[in-house]
Structure 1
Amino acid sequence: MGHPKSVQAFIEEIPSWDDGDHLAGPPLSSMQWLVWALATAGKFFEGMIVFMQGVGLPLISEEFALTDIDKGLITAATLAGILFGALFLGGLADRLGRKPVFIGEMVLLLVALIVAALAPSKEVLIGSLFVTGLALGADYPTAHLVISESIPSAIRGRLVLGAFSFQAVGAVLGTAIAAVILGAKPDLDAWRLFYLVPIIPVAAVIWGRLFLPESSHWLVTRGLTAKAEKQLRKLLNRQHLQLKSVQVESESGRPHRRGSWDQLFIGKYLRGTILASLPWFLQDLSTYGIGIFTPVIIGLAFGKASHDHNVASIIHADLIGARGTALIDVGFLVGIAVAIVLADRWGRIPLQVIGFIGCALGLFLAALGGGGDESTDHLVLIVAGFLVFQFMTNFGPNATTYLLAGEVFPTHIRGLGAGFAAASGKVGAVLTAFFFPMLLKAWGTERLLMALVITSLLGAVVTWLYRIETKGLDMETL
């Protein structure tokens, strides 16, 4: 059986051949790959649902005769749900375990999507979208923890960001599916299909997550060493291993029974809380505002020649917006792909700082286009600016804020810390989603985008001032 080791030591263990030669790195078992694959689902569904909702907003608005405030509420409902889900449901993973929350959030999502698709009124739709957000918000910290507590440190950045990249895949696929649906079914109620599309995939994910092991890291911190050994054998596909008993202690020397909110704001954890939360807030101000309303902005820009207000013209402009967004979201995918390659080479902090500065540049270009006339040159500036923004935000802060949030806290408060950071980001997303339609109307595109340039530059400054580089550190030393 060998000597007792820690959970992470077994995960990091590099096997050798009979002649004594070692492999280049610790191999991943089929169960570790399954954990990763099923953890990608939450981000995929978030990207798909939120971005399809952006395409569907003009149709929903027409069907329910929405005011500007109603539009803000419908758009903000999902994001508000994500905020509360990350803040409160994500923290349950520190109390109940990773697996129960990992399964429960998908069940909640399934129910909410069905209600949204059948919503008879704007009030029911808003409520169901809020519950949808609760489920997606719970997945923010939980999916990160499930992955990062199951894999070797040397590839943690790549695999966590690889899972996160499925938000981009969901966004691109969601806008593409929305465009196909609008083209095949140019009816006002086509938006209802947007919420029906994910239902079968969500059910499949629920079934798959039932077979995953519980986090051995979490079990050890609860004093459940025997259960941790059993779950670790399942994860690594090994018959024999023995874990060291670990007593997690606070700075006062007393054992930690459970994490608490106050621990995030005192002592050595405060710096990590600031780094994980404030840049995420600043990043989401622009990422969600631009991402959600890109179809609307492009639809208006490319559809200005028509001033008719009827179902046909609304669907036509919406279809143009959806196709334009699908093109721009290519920058989304390329950016996250580059981040996956560089996260474990350059580190998290350089990517985040450079990414924030690049976001500011892209928004500045779009602002120049938005402040001009309707000529082709100005439309090119808008699209080019959005492409640069989508690339740089996913090369940097949209990816790295998520990654850092699950790395700068110890195991016993990792769910709380990552949940608080995600919730902080969603505060920015909710504020942007609610006020963006009104500000876009009152300020115009140029002034609004210039305000987001400033918030992006501020994100770079805060990241540098409170930097904590986590590249290569194992989960037991964070």
Structure 2
Amino acid sequence: MGLSPAAASPESKAVNVQAVLNAHPFSRYQWLIFSLCFFIVLFDGFDTAAIGYIAPSLMAEWDVSKSGLAPVLSAALFGLAGGAMLSGPLADRFGRKQVLAGAVGLFGVACLCSALALDLETLTALRFVTGLGLGAAMPNAVTLMSEYCPDARRSIITNAMFCGFPLGAAFGGFLAAWMIPYWGWRSVLLLGGTAPLLLVVLLLVLLPESVRYMVAKQYPAERIRQVLSRIAGASVQGVRSFAMTESKSVAPGQHGLAVVLSRSYWLGSAMLWLAYFMGLVIFYALVNWMPVLFKEAGLDTRTSTLVAALFPLGGVGAVFFGWLMDRFNANRIIAIGYALTALSIWWIGQEAGRLGWLVVAVFVAGTVMNTAQSSMPALAAAFYPTSGRATGVAWMLGIGRFGGIAGSFLVADLTARQLDFSTIFAVVAVPGLIAMAALIVKQMASAPARD
């Protein structure tokens, strides 16, 4: 397939890299990039959720109370916030690939060391370091993937890649339920550290730098052509200059946080932060505490873990949302998802003592909640221009992580107040309504179109 007329600028004869991506079918090389990013996010989800699944074992082995467990549950979330907020500006300045490989290596080593911890304080410190790597990996995987997508399929492909996170979190639950009785809770962390370190080798060898980033930073045309030729074949051979277009102008030399907080983007940025923050209040409140809450409601440890693992598994619905986002108003689609999230979380609280309906409620709630939450990075990636995309996605994820911290402490506080099962879930449902309102405001503010 040849390049479209829009692919080249008449004045400079420079080939527009986004037009190249739009004009050609999604290639095997792009599927390779997708696979590598998918596994980054998969291992991110596994390592993030692992602490919740081993929590009952920690309480039993180290004689830790529920309130005493809150610091170790939230330690990684502080790291996640810091890692995301630091890595975005670094990736906008130095590139996506380097930051990604370093981040995956960091959380792999830290998780491996966590398996050797002998006390709660050491484990808490190592979970913080793990979080730094996890926080840096996620936004840059999303950013790099989105920058290799054709415009018409960006949301569905990015969402499909991001499904690795809830799948990794759910996979961790099923593995924990099987592994802990045989090898103890440390085996879960050993696996969570070893797999990412193997992935780092593949990233260094196979993962390319973002082609849009290379154009923005004026990399040599030969290097850009080498990557594009694996997507567009002979149609880019001999091209001596590459360019790209953005839907909205950015001040010369402006990049990173300066773009995110500029007049054109600040309100949309704030609403993205608020919506993602509230979504993670729900996610971490439930992922970290559902096994404990279900056990207190009368289920045994293994059943509690298995039922709780259904919650993150539902995130595969993000592929459907991605399809809808590519065809309809993305803000409204995700806002509807958060409204349904609030309703379904409330439903879980009504099913204590009825295992069959509890399983259904948890799966439905997980599907709508994780579908909405997993769609947010694609929404953010489409919102920002190339010069601020990594920072925009990373800061949404980073600030949102404080919602995860709040969620972890929220349930600890609610249980300390001796609220009953149904009331706890009713309170946890409220952030879904706030996230819905934030996206409605973002839409009403007439946010810039995606590039």
Q: Is the TM-score greater than 0.5?
A: yes
* Candidates 209, 213, 216, aligned match of 1:214: 209
Residue of structure 1 in register with 2:20 after alignment: 10
- In 2, Cα distance between equivalents of 1:195 and 1:461: 38
| 1:301 equivalent among 291, 297, 302 | 297
2:285 alignment counterpart: 289
Q: Distance in 1 between matches of 2:150 and 2:381?
A: 15
Task: Classify 1:385/1:175 alpha carbon distance in 2 versus 1 (closer, same or farther; 3 Å).
Answer: same
After TM superposition, the structure 1 = structure 2 runs for residues 22-33 of structure 1, keeping only pairs within 5 Å, are: 26-33=24-31
Matched, 1:336 2:311: no
Question: Which structure 2 segments of 5+ residues have no match?
Answer: none
* 8 A Cα contact 2:17 2:244, kept in partner: no
Structure 1: which 5+ residue stretches go unaligned?
Answer: 14-25, 304-316
Partner SS state of residue 411, structure 2: helix
Q: Report the counterpart of residue 416 of structure 1 in structure 2.
A: 391
- Provide the rounded CA distance (Å) in 1 between the counterparts of 2:445 and 2:304: 39
Is the 1:31–1:234 Cα contact (8 Å) retained in structure 2?
no
Pair 1:359-2:341 in alignment: yes
CA distance in 2, matches of 1:349, 1:90: 23
Cα distance per residue 1:277-305 (max 9 Å; x no partner): 111011111122112222222222233xx
Q: After superposition, what is the alpha-carbon deviation per residue over 1:171-193, rounded to whole angstroms, capped at 9, x for unaligned?
A: 221111111113434xxxx1100
Please say which of residues 194-203 and 123-132 is displaced more in the overlay: 194-203
Going from structure 1 to structure 2, the CA distance change for 1:470 and 1:79 (only over 3 Å counts) comes to farther
What are the superposed Cα offsets for residues 249-279 of structure 1, whole Å, 9 maximum, x if unpaired?
x9796x31x5243432231011320232111
Q: Which residue of 1 aligns with 2:186?
A: 192
In the aligned structure 2, how far is the partner of 1:470 from the partner of 1:30?
Answer: 37
- Residue in structure 1 matched with residue 261 of structure 2 by the alignment: 265
Contact 1:223 / 1:245 at 8 angstroms: preserved in 2?
Answer: no
Output the CA distance in 1 between the equivalents of 2:374 and 2:380. Answer: 10
Aligned to 2:147: 149
Shift of 1:427: 0.8
Find the counterpart in structure 2 of residue 277 from structure 1.
273
Equivalence map 1:382-461=2 (5 Å): 382-396=358-372, 398-442=373-417, 443-461=419-437
Aligned to 1:119: 117
Q: Which of 286, 311, 322 is matched with 2:305 structurally?
A: 322
Q: Distance in 2 between matches of 1:106 and 1:217?
A: 22
Instruction: Quote the Cα distance in structure 1 between the aligned partners of 2:446 and 2:287.
Output: 28
TM-score (normalizing by structure 1): 0.83
| 1:69-111 C-alpha deviation (Å, 9 max, x unpaired) | 4311110011111111111123211011011011111111121
Give, in whole Å, the separation in 1 of the partners of 2:67 and 2:241.
Answer: 56
* Conservation of the 8 A alpha-carbon contact between 1:277 and 1:424: yes
Equivalent residues of 2:308, 2:362 under 8 A apart = no
Q: CA 1:54–1:135 in 2, change beyond 3 Å: closer, same or farther?
A: same
Q: Is the 8 A contact 1:50 1:292 kept in 2?
A: no
Could you tell me which of 90, 98, 101 is aligned with 1:100? 98
Structure number with larger C-alpha Rg: 1
CA contact (8 A) 1:223 1:246 kept: no
CA distance in 2, matches of 1:279, 1:161: 17
The residue type paired with residue 191 of structure 1 is W
Counterpart CA distance in 1 for 2:28 and 2:265 is 35
1: CA distance, partners of 2:285 / 2:174: 19
C-alpha separation in 2, matches of 1:143 and 1:330: 20
RMSD: 2.8
Identity among equivalent positions (%) equals 24
How far did residue 235 of structure 1 move?
4.6
Q: What is the distance in 2 between the residues matched to 1:326 and 1:414? A: 32
Letter of the 1:362 partner, please give it: S
Contact map agreement 2:177 2:302 (CA 8 A) in 1:
yes
Amino acid in the other structure paired with 2:306: R
Distance 2:243 2:165 in 1: 38
- Name the count of aligned residue pairs: 435
Equivalent residue for 2:438? 462
CA distance in 2, matches of 1:338, 1:324: 24
Deviation at 1:62, TM superposition (A): 2.6
Contact 1:332 1:394 in 2 (8 A): yes
Does the Cα contact within 8 Å between 2:81 and 2:132 map onto a contact in 1? yes
Contact 1:339 1:394 in 2 (8 A): no
CA distance, structure 2, for counterparts of residue 262 and residue 30 of structure 1: 36
CA contact (8 A) 1:215 1:231 kept: no
| Corresponding residue of 2:137 | 139
What is the CA–CA distance in structure 2 between the aligned matches of 1:329 and 1:229, rounded to whole Å?
A: 38
Aligned partner (choices 155, 158, 171) of residue 156 of structure 2: 158
- Determine the C-alpha separation between the residues in 2 that align with 1:142 and 1:252: 21
CA distance in 2, matches of 1:418, 1:328: 24
**1:294–1:215 CA distance, 2 compared to 1 (3 A):** same
